[in-house]
Amino acid sequence: MAGSVNKVILVGNLGRDPEVRTFQDGGKLCNLRIATSESWKDRNTGERRERTEWHNVVLRGDGLVRVAEQYLRKGSKVYVEGQLQTRKWQDQSGQDRYSTDVVVAGLGGTLTMLDGRSGDGGGGGYGGGQGGYDSGPQGDPYGGSQGGAPAPASGGIDDDEIPF
């Protein structure tokens, strides 16, 4: 079906360090565990309550994975934009199981760091290592192909694009 949109936007903190898996062909994938929380006052008791939601985030594409490996740690706060994908798998007893991930792919997905602390207690800080990584940069914001040499319409991820 054309004419559809599948988009997730999260701002939250990593519950643990990023986990990277490498495939036989050298491709990489990175799993993030991201917490979002909300709090509200119970209308009956008047107590403040809080609920934390945990999200399985999958980064695909070598550039995104490299950024996560280098800059993200348990506790890091990030903005991610991706899409919902539900995977089917079999448990040990052979039963079908389903898991839903937020997939941030090389193109179209976005990962932006919102602090530089990396959750390690050292370094970082306000003027420090803040960084961001947008896997889908919109290129020269001043124009498309007009102006200057014709752009090779590259896209993809370029070492030089690491923005720190």
Partner DNA sequence: TTTT
Nearer to DNA, 25 or 50 (CB): 50
* Spatial CB neighbours of 150, under 8 Å, sequence gap ≥ 6: none
Q: How far from 110 is each of 19, 58, 97, CA to CA, in Å? A: 18, 12, 28
Judged by beta carbon, residue 69 or residue 77, the one nearer a copy of itself is 77
Q: Is 6 in the site for a copy of itself (CB under 8 A)?
A: yes
Tell whether residue 18 is a contact of DNA (CB under 7 A). no
Q: How many angstroms separate the CA atoms of 164 and 63, rounded?
A: 13
Which of a copy of itself, DNA, none does 128 bind, CB closer than 5 to 8 A by kind? DNA
Site for DNA in 49-88 (CB under 7 A): 50, 52, 54, 74-75, 77
- Is 94 a binder of a copy of itself (CB under 8 A)? no
- Contact between 2 and DNA by CB under 7 A: the answer reads yes
# residues contacting a copy of itself (CB under 8 A) = 102
DSSP single-letter state for residue 25: T
Say how far apart CA 5 and CA 48 lie, in whole Å.
35
Note whether 80 and 57 are within 8 A (CB). Answer: yes
User: Does residue 131 touch DNA according to CB under 7 A?
Assistant: yes
Binding of a copy of itself at residue 154 (CB under 8 A)?
A: yes
